[in-house]
Amino acid sequence: MVPCYRSAAVLPELVSRTEAALELLVRDKVIDGWEVILVVDGNLDETGTIAASLAQSHQGVLAAELHRNYGQHSALLAGIRLATNDVTVTMDDDLQHPPEEIGVLLEPLTDAHVDLVYGVPLVEEHGVLRSGASRLVKAALSATGVANAQWVGAFRAFRTQLRGAFADTTDPSPNIDVLLSWATSSVQPAAVRMEKRTVGRSGYTFGKLVGHAVNMVTGYGTLPLRLATWLGFCFGAVGFLALAYALITYIAGITTQPGFTTTVALIALFSGVQLITIGIIGEYVGRAHFRSMKKPAYFIRTITRHGS
């Protein structure tokens, strides 16, 4: 299952290599059958047209075009719900995830107690800044309760039945890894070879990855609210100590009038804490509001199959 975004130039090669890799797995009796699902996340170039053409000319390919760009995880959710086989594999559309490595992902699933496998790169391909942002995202996933978040990546294989755990989700900003964590904690890594991107560049900039991390923490976890609570307790204790100190020095005659600087500093300090806390609570209220509106995570425009 491949979410596609501005990938018209690589789709033919991606489909060709994926078909060859999957046919080899069928021949070796690793799998019984396969289907390649291309989810076009907004037809901003010729990606939708080429995906539909590939679906019409290749029997095992299905192309679904979304009405607009909803985001990678929404596109993944759409594709996962269209899947018909026992195991679903997700991969990027830029050929950084070699289709030839799908067999490596599937091997741990021969153990009936393993439900989800993440492809872990043998060699890190990203720069320092991007790698740092990726680690931030994984830390955010860990904060939301995702098991073994350090292995999380876009190249994954899991038992399709896991989607039953999030069949009713209406989150307009879903995260597939969090949703999968609702279903299972039986996760394994698989060391896979990654290739360098040859066409275009990733849409996940440092800023977007940071925003993605914030979205996951506030959308699926309560850590910020807990931090706000502890922050309130800590500064409340500081305020109590400051008040006690002021009373003691006043009673002892050390000072006879309140200090203007101290008063201003305390007001600024506690006002800042209050604003931070209100902002965090507001983020949660806003997300609850959007969820109450039942805004869809995606909306499919067309589905194209062989012969249609």
Dump the DSSP string for 201-230.
--S--HHHHHHHHHHHHHHH--HHHHHHHH
Q: What is the pLDDT of residue 15?
A: 96
Going from N- to C-terminal start, the domains of the chain cover 2-221+296-304, 223-292
H or E element, residue 68: none
The residues, ordered by sequence, that sit 6+ positions from 289 with a Cβ below 8 Å of its Cβ are none
pLDDT digits (tens, 9 = 90+) for 39-69: 999 877 899 999 999 999 999 999 999 999 9
Structure letter (DSSP) for residue 128:
H
pLDDT digits (tens, 9 = 90+) for 181-237: 888 989 999 999 998 866 655 555 556 656 656 666 666 666 676 677 677 677 767
**Residues in the chain where the model's pLDDT stays below 70:** 124-145, 147, 197-223, 225-226, 229, 232, 236, 239-240, 242-243, 246-247, 250, 254-262, 264-266, 268-269, 271-272, 275, 289-291, 293-295, 307-308
Distance, in Å, from the CA atom of 151 to the CA atom of 275, rounded to the nearest integer, reads 36
Residue 100 is encoded by which pair of tokens? 């030839």
Q: What is the pLDDT of residue 41?
A: 93
The position carrying tokens 């977007």 is: 208
Q: What is the pLDDT of residue 112?
A: 94
Q: What is the pLDDT of residue 107?
A: 96
Q: What is the pLDDT of residue 215?
A: 65
- Identify the CA nearest to 246 among candidates 227, 261, 228: 261
Q: What is the pLDDT of residue 204?
A: 57
The CATH number of the domain covering residues in 2-221+296-304: 3.90.550.10
Distance, in Å, from the CA atom of 234 to the CA atom of 250, rounded to the nearest integer, reads 24
CB 176 within 8 A of CB 91: no
